[in-house]
Amino acid sequence: MVQIMRIKGEKCVLRRWNLLDLESLVENANNYHIAINMRDLFPSPYTLEDGKNWLEITSCEEKNCFLAITVNNHAVGGIGLTLGEDIERISAELGYWLGEKYWGKGITSSAIKGIVNYGFNELGLERIFAKPLEYNTASRRVLEKNGFQLEGIMKKSVIKEGKIYNQALYALTREN
């Protein structure tokens, strides 16, 4: 899948990760301000070894919906869909991150538009959902900007760095 978009004159592309992305991946992912809002599976600090592991995971084609967000051919973030299984196979969870120096430029919003289009039109999904931490207002705003609706607050649903937090459950369903 390749999704090309132009944002403020820069060429932004959603594409599969490749080995040439390693340096840019580590440079952008190794940021506490990103990691604090991610699952614990997202390492902090983010090392070269972590980057190599990620690129190996994403090299498998089967059910791989994890894409690099690139600006001028540099991987500056990631976006993906974790597909549901069994009776939840018509749904997927959306996850994303973007290097801090690219925040506030509309890149994440455009990337979400691209992967939502892919999920509904290519994968045949009926529902895409995301669960940002309740306090992460930037992530919540970008979901709302893309038509996701708040379905509820999941009280005391996660623990991060020894603190318990709420998550906000957002979802978007296919238009009928």
pLDDT tens for the chain, 176 residues long, are 555 555 656 678 999 999 999 999 999 999 999 999 999 999 999 999 999 999 999 987 666 799 999 998 899 999 999 999 999 999 999 999 999 999 999 999 999 999 999 999 999 999 999 999 999 999 999 999 999 999 999 999 999 999 999 999 999 999 85
Residue 141 lies in a domain: no
Residue 166 lies in a domain: no
CATH of the domain at 118: 3.40.630.30
**117 belongs to a structural domain:** yes
Q: Within a 10 A sphere around the Cβ of 122, how many other Cβ atoms?
A: 10
| Predicted pLDDT at 6 | 57
> Number of folded domains in the chain?
1
Q: What is the pLDDT, as a whole number, of residue 5?
A: 59
CA dihedral 139, 142, 147, 149 (to 10 degrees): 20
Tokens of residue 69, six digits: 């967000």
Pairing of strands 91-98, 127-130: parallel
Domain presence at residue 133: no
Owning domain of residue 118:
3-126
Residue 169 domain-assigned? no
Residue 9 is predicted with a pLDDT of: 60
- Domain assignment present for residue 154? The answer is no
Sheet strands side by side (includes 74-83): 3-7, 10-16, 66-71, 74-83, 91-98, 127-130, 163-173, 149-160
* Global pTM value: 0.92
